[in-house]
Chain A
Amino acid sequence: MANRSVVPFGPQHPVLPEPIHLDLVLEDEKVVEAVPKIGYVHRGLEKLVQKRDFNDFVYIAERTCGICSFMHGMGYVEAMERIFNVDIPGRAKYLRTIWCEMSRIHSHLLWLGLLADGFGFEALFYQCWRMREQVLDMFEEATGGRVIFSVNKIGGVLKDMPAEMLDKFVKNFNYLELQLKDITEVFLKDYTVESRLRGVGILSKEDAITLGAAGPMMRASGIKIDTRSLGYAAYEDIDFEIITSNECDSYARCEVRIKEIFQSIDIIRQAVSKIPDGELSVAIKGNPNGEAFARMEQPRGEAIYYCRANGTKFLERMRIRTPTFTNLTPMLHTLKGAELADVPLLILTIDPCISCTER
């Protein structure tokens, strides 16, 4: 038997923008086991519900993570709207849907860039992030913020997008789609990219089910689940096919995410063509009492929000289950048997968001 050695990986590491620590047990260059240690970003955010009132907490919920910030805020307000038993206006639902999909596009482009950086393709990394800036510019125009833009409130949304702005955004997305087609060629057909992604980090369908994978990681293993099909916000009025792949490797995860960007652009077009006129929010009265769940498809997978209120202005408990947390076990599974040089890439393929996970 070859000698075993333990290589520490992280918490500060060039390919990881966020801190996570892994102890990699190696036999020569092969990883035998990976032992994670998390908690570097733990703040204790959920406990803050007892110190901030339920309206203020929207801003804390948004700061669970800066990448899917809009959706975290939205998950919290949807759970609270269920406690208050209010139905929000149609226009607010559509605006939320559009912002959700814009968040997904920017998050996936960010991930594609990091992946390209992970396998050493700097020019591709820059192209992805250049395209991502176009989405951020639209966010800034519509809401005033680039990454954290606080437009949710319990009962609706705070800002409107006029019809001219929506038309302009559709044009911008049409242009973005053209640029995206160019980089899709590189990601899916370039032989150097394929050589790094094909057959690396296999997660079979059975393993994905038993280990509880979520989001694109799960869909790349051939499981057809997408929380958006539950029809929260305006998704029940929108046609879309769940994107899956049966190849189960890193290439499949990349392919699923790229196709999801095209799908998101299509959802935005549909939403803009169907958006109704009307109010942006309904008033809520009194303090919340009761408990509720909300589920949401984030760029990284399904997230669950739970709120329990006791009739005062402070909630008793707020809990988020985030997709990266459930994806950590499948990731450790894919690391076993991988080569040390592939480890950063495999960590990236789950699209880790440590800040959501540790809160």
Chain B
Amino acid sequence: MAKVAKSPWLLHYDGSSCNGCDIEVLACLTPIYDVERFGIINTGNPKHADILLITGGINTQNKAVVEQLYSQMPDPKVVCAVGICACNGGVFKDCYNIIGGVDNVIPVDVYVPGCAARPNAIIDGVVKALGVLEEKREKMKAERGKTN
């Protein structure tokens, strides 16, 4: 990533996390870590978002919500699983209500490890996601060129 050319907006959804990763996601936006200086804004509207940050694993109740949020986001979009629970279920893997990581339901592009994931790791994950977003955008442009 040489530079951030666009201002990517985030959508944050708490799957079934313990809050640990959620408050760290919020901590990224506040003065100490401050991702807003890169133009990254936490939006509440899936139709405004480029990057979906999900914390926590998938359970039977929130499966449909995650699918719906993902489908509402416009292309190109990137999914970033934050914390070990979102990656594969983590300590709750054996719980009866947990299906597993986010990749059971929607495609995940970036995995951020940690319990709870530290703000530095989350920012690193978002920067990686920006690279993926750029690739997807290029690919979309190329495909549009073919049809025209």
Contact = CB atoms under 8 A, between A and B. Distances in A.
Interface residues of B, number: 39
A66 B16 contact: no
Nearest to A59: B91
Interface residues of A, number: 39
Interface in A30-59: 39-45, 47-48, 51, 59
Given A66-B23, A126-B31, A41 B16 contact: yes
A197 interface: no
A345 to B, nearest CB: 16
B27 A129 contact: yes
A153 to B, nearest CB: 17
Contacts of A13: 44
B10 to A, nearest CB: 12
A126 B57 contact: no
Contacts of B12: 17
B31 A43 contact: no
Contact of B91 (A15, A63, A136): A63
Given A12-B69, A17-B22, A19-B14, A44 B30 contact: no
A126 B98 contact: no
A110 interface: yes
Contacts, number: 118
B20 A12 contact: no
B79 to A, nearest CB: 15
B26 A18 contact: no
Contacts of B45: 14
Which of A17, A41, A43, A60 has most B Cβ within 10 Å?
A43
A48 B94 contact: yes
B5 interface: no
B21 interface: yes
B116 A146 contact: yes
A11 interface: yes
A67 B23 contact: yes
Contacts of B21: 66
Contacts of A64: 18
A69 interface: yes
A133 interface: yes
A148 interface: yes
A113 B23 CA distance: 12
Given A13-B44, A40-B61, A66 B22 contact: yes
Contacts of B18: 63-66, 69, 148, 355
B95 A148 contact: no
Contacts of B62: 11, 19, 40-41
A146 B61 contact: no
Nearest to B65: A11
Which of A18, A41, A64, A65 has most B Cβ within 10 Å?
A41
B108 to A, nearest CB: 18
B97 to A, nearest CB: 4
Which of B20, B62, B98 has most A Cβ within 10 Å?
B20
A47 B62 CA distance: 20
Interface string B35-63: 00000000111100000000011010110
B23 A147 contact: yes
Contacts of A335: none
A224 interface: no
Nearest to A64: B18
B20 A41 contact: no
Contact of A147 (B20, B43, B69): B20
B109 interface: no
Contacts of A110: 23
30 contacts: A11-B65, A12-B44, A17-B19, A17-B26, A18-B19, A19-B62, A40-B16, A40-B65, A41-B14, A43-B16, A43-B57, A44-B96, A44-B97, A48-B94, A59-B91, A60-B91, A63-B20, A66-B19, A66-B23, A66-B116, A67-B20, A113-B30, A129-B30, A130-B30, A130-B32, A133-B30, A146-B24, A146-B116, A355-B18, A355-B19
Q: Which 8 A-B pairs have the closest CB atoms?
A: A66-B20, A14-B44, A66-B19, A129-B30, A44-B95, A44-B97, A44-B96, A43-B95
